[in-house]
Structure 1
Amino acid sequence: MVEVGEKKIVGIVWGLLILNTLGSAGAKTIVPLPRSLIQMATMGALVAAFVLALSVNLRLRFRPSAYVFLLTLLLVPSLISSAHLESGFGALFRCARLALFIGTLWLLTRWWDGGLTFVRHHIRLYLAVLGSVAAGLLVSPGAAMPDLYGGRLVGALWPLTPPQIGQYAAVIIGLTVLLVLGRRTDRAGAAVVIVPSLVLLALTHTRTATLGLFIGLALAIGSLMLTSSAARRFFAWAVLIATVAAVGFASALQAWFLRGQSQENFSNLTGRAKVWDALLSAPRSASEELFGMGLGDKSFGGLPIDNSWLAVYNEQGLSGTAIVAAVFVVLGGVALLRPPSLERACAIFLISYCAIASYTEAGLGDASPYLLHLAVAASLLAAPAGAGPLPAAGGPARRVPVPRWIPNREVT
């Protein structure tokens, strides 16, 4: 009973971390929510997550994690650059938030056992977030698809932007598809997640999330094709459907992808390229080059950077960029060395999705959903507690206990 209670608390902690990373800036909501109130809620969620995680891990039992260790190293350039106060006292506040976020992840590593527990938490909790988006769309379609965002879907109950909604939808779609292929849930239960999420993803017109979903799934399913006949069948059908769609609906797909933009605007990534060029050409001292300008709001000259690598370079310098690159090298390398399994496929999907999204989205250098996605990948790649050496590549996949989820049974 104690273990069951701990697992429930761990799920609550994960939900609080997700709440903390939802952010406070976005579209206007049906009921106006002061930004200060939202920030209090998100920061309160992080503090509560740390306290709850500590309450179930009072003996401070950690599992080795190269991922969380690298995030801890990322605190060093963050603190060095933020201490100069060039970005104001807000930089130090963001450092404290990042430290608390990483501390909570350290406390949770005790439950990182290579199983699907955190995958199921991730799907269930982000599905709840998308449920609030769908509810806002039903209550007030005008507020949920405002002209300010070009008619794209936003959060009308909580201020979520189209890229955020697209990201959450793409991630849980990909993970749920992999659970179906691994026979860890049935198709009816998966449809409850996949179909509404696909509709919401389409309404956001988010190109990055869509590409990340398809490419990430292709890589993940490709890792299963040698050992899973279901993966081979799904891949063959996906290629056939994609070919038919490309031929029969080419003009409609092109119109959806361009979102009414001109070819010139599309080629410079909706103005992002101009911000990137200005950031790279700005003069910097040797210290700023190495450690950055301090944690900020991921903007330059008042405009969003919308690139994780340049945002990290701007705020944490070349040292921070090297650490973030090491995160992908380590996680990707470990995933490639693991024998084929559903857990490995889910990790590959999350790693590849975050790598693709990093080109047009910021968040790898601060507490964000992307760090949570990678944390789930790290939990999937962790060795089971008390287990012996991992089987050699190509050997039989290990069986792990399957937590209860939607629906509460496995497919046999």
Structure 2
Amino acid sequence: MAGDLMRGGLPGGADTGRRGALPGGPDTAGTRPGTEAQPAGTPKAVGIVWALLALNTLGSAGAKTVVTLPRSLIQMATMGALVSAFALALALNLRLRIRPSAFVFLLTLLLVPSVISSANLEVGYGALFRCGRLALFVGTLWLLSRWWDGSVTFVRHHIRMYFVVLVSVAAGLVVAPGTAMPEYYGGRLVGALWPLTPPQIGQYAAVIIGLTVLLVLGRQTTGASAALVIVPSLVLLALTHTRTATLGLLIGLVLAIGSLVLTSAAARRFFAWTVVIAAVAAVAFSSAMQSWYLRGQSQENLSDLTGRAKVWDALLAAPRTTGEKVFGMGLSDKSFGGLPIDNSWLAAYHEQGLIGVTIVAAFMIVLAGVALLRPPSLPRACAIFLISYCAISSYTEAGLADASPYLLHLALAASLLAAPAAATHLPTAATHLPTPAVPRRRVPRWARR
């Protein structure tokens, strides 16, 4: 069941990675809806590299855990994961074969204002350390771009690694429910085994729910397998009370499924049933949904975005030199005056200046533009979901201009929008070899009469 989704098999045990199959087998040529041609020889270790990148972006600050983990130990684990990811990716791609990617190229350009602003050391040596981390992160993406072929292979890696994270969250909830839902977070779900905040857990749950729903619509997994991922993830998302993740999930799925409506009957049926269920739920559970959305906050606190607007106003009103406006103040912990910025665009302006904001806007526009120009397909729908989710979350979450889960989501979108690579395979017995050229005999003139 769940193994179908995690191993990447189709319903019935079909393997999309085989080519030259017998009639009636998997459609490796991509002629059926929801199937894509895949290049041969993608190492399984690529999934390990992707998981190590995700581990690096989990962060080291968050809720209190059952067993107190020193922050230095967590930082060693996360940074060690990034170094290991780069080393393994380099070992898999020793010839440094890369694919052109406007997204990764713009990320590389983002290093320029980051290094220039961090070299002033106004925010300490940690800024240069963060620049090195971003450089390793981007370098690993360049090495992995060799296997970006427009298939859903990396989608499965993405679901697998974040599902493991959510399993650890669920285990913490079972082991220590009081620690997992503390009062200082308003009873919202946090990571009791690894220091994860409610927005982080909500983000991971929303992303894998959306991607799994799209895999079901694309007939890339069974409904039973997907339910084992979607149902517990929905429960954890509800326990986090994360409004941004919920809105990002709903709007992202509407846009992604809308891109499939004209070409997929399953998408049309799902869209219709979703509208009906949403209308019934809105009428029957309106008071409960409103209570969940408000989280016990006043209307004034909600309009102030739980204090975020005050931090944003103070950040914009702070005096800055021309150089600081252009290049920023240097990479930091995404805070201003000891309070989190919680806005990707203002965080980029604070740390990398107007140049950083321009680059971030450029790669978001490039990804969205390429997604709109691609013909309808499952990879395109997954990319639209990820891009729209990150765009919505950027208003109340920081991370688009530094190594973070949001950049990893966008990197996945870039891999889905890459042009399929031509697959090469050895001829088999069933493969017709080309007929050798036969010299043409010249017919005498008398024989033509």
User: How many residue pairs align between the two structures?
Assistant: 385
Quote the offset at 1:385 in angstroms. 1.4
| Residue 336 of structure 1: aligned partner | 372
Whole-angstrom CA distance in 1 between matches of 2:367 and 2:308: 28
Amino acid at match of 2:300: E
The 5-angstrom pairing of residues 14-29 of structure 1 reads 14-29=50-65
Cα displacement string for residues 203-235 of structure 1 (whole angstroms, at most 9, x for unaligned residues): 000000000000000000000000011111111
| Residue 261 of structure 2: aligned partner | 225
Amino acid at match of 2:145: T
Q: 2:157 aligns with which of 110, 121, 125?
A: 121
1:172 aligns with 2:172: no
| Residue 200 of structure 1: aligned partner | 236
Whole-angstrom CA distance in 1 between matches of 2:86 and 2:297: 44
- Structure 2, unaligned runs of 5 or more: 1-38, 424-449
2:257 match: secondary structure = helix
Whole-angstrom CA distance in 1 between matches of 2:40 and 2:287: 52
Q: 1:45 aligns with which of 74, 81, 87?
A: 81
The 5-angstrom pairing of residues 192-271 of structure 1 reads 192-271=228-307
Quote the offset at 1:192 in angstroms. 0.6
Whole-angstrom CA distance in 2 between matches of 1:5 and 1:37: 36
Quote the offset at 1:9 in angstroms. 1.1
Q: Select the structure that is richer in helix.
A: 1
Whole-angstrom CA distance in 1 between matches of 2:81 and 2:412: 19
Whole-angstrom CA distance in 2 between matches of 1:220 and 1:384: 20
| Residue 313 of structure 1: aligned partner | 349
| Residue 402 of structure 1: aligned partner | none
Amino acid at match of 1:379: S
Quote the offset at 1:318 in angstroms. 0.4
Quote the offset at 1:7 in angstroms. 2.0
1:290 aligns with 2:326: yes
| Residue 105 of structure 1: aligned partner | 141
Q: Which moved more, 1:196-205 or 1:243-252?
A: 243-252
1:76 match: secondary structure = helix
Contact 2:89/2:140 (<8 A) preserved: yes
Contact 2:169/2:191 (<8 A) preserved: yes
Poorly superposed stretches of 4+, deviation over 4 Å: 3-6
Contact 1:6/1:56 (<8 A) preserved: no
| Residue 444 of structure 2: aligned partner | none
Amino acid at match of 2:420: P
| Residue 410 of structure 2: aligned partner | 374
Determine which structure has more spread, i.e. the larger CA radius of gyration.
Answer: 2
1:144 aligns with 2:185: no
Cα displacement string for residues 72-127 of structure 1 (whole angstroms, at most 9, x for unaligned residues): 00000000100111111100000000000000000000000000010000001100
Amino acid at match of 2:342: D
2:267 match: secondary structure = helix
1:275 aligns with 2:311: yes
1:157 aligns with 2:201: no
Percent sequence identity over matched residues? Answer: 81
Q: Which moved more, 1:159-168 or 1:235-244?
A: 235-244
1:7 match: secondary structure = coil
- Structure 1, unaligned runs of 5 or more: 388-412
TM-score, normalised by the number of residues in structure 2: 0.85
RMSD: 1.0
Whole-angstrom CA distance in 1 between matches of 2:263 and 2:42: 34
| Residue 135 of structure 1: aligned partner | 171
| Residue 407 of structure 1: aligned partner | none
Q: 1:383 aligns with which of 419, 434, 440?
A: 419
Whole-angstrom CA distance in 2 between matches of 1:135 and 1:291: 43
Whole-angstrom CA distance in 1 between matches of 2:293 and 2:363: 31
Contact 2:42/2:147 (<8 A) preserved: no
Contact 2:82/2:136 (<8 A) preserved: yes
Contact 1:72/1:102 (<8 A) preserved: yes
Whole-angstrom CA distance in 1 between matches of 2:236 and 2:96: 40
Quote the offset at 1:248 in angstroms. 1.2
Quote the offset at 1:245 in angstroms. 1.1
1:78 match: secondary structure = helix
Whole-angstrom CA distance in 2 between matches of 1:309 and 1:22: 21
Whole-angstrom CA distance in 1 between matches of 2:47 and 2:266: 30
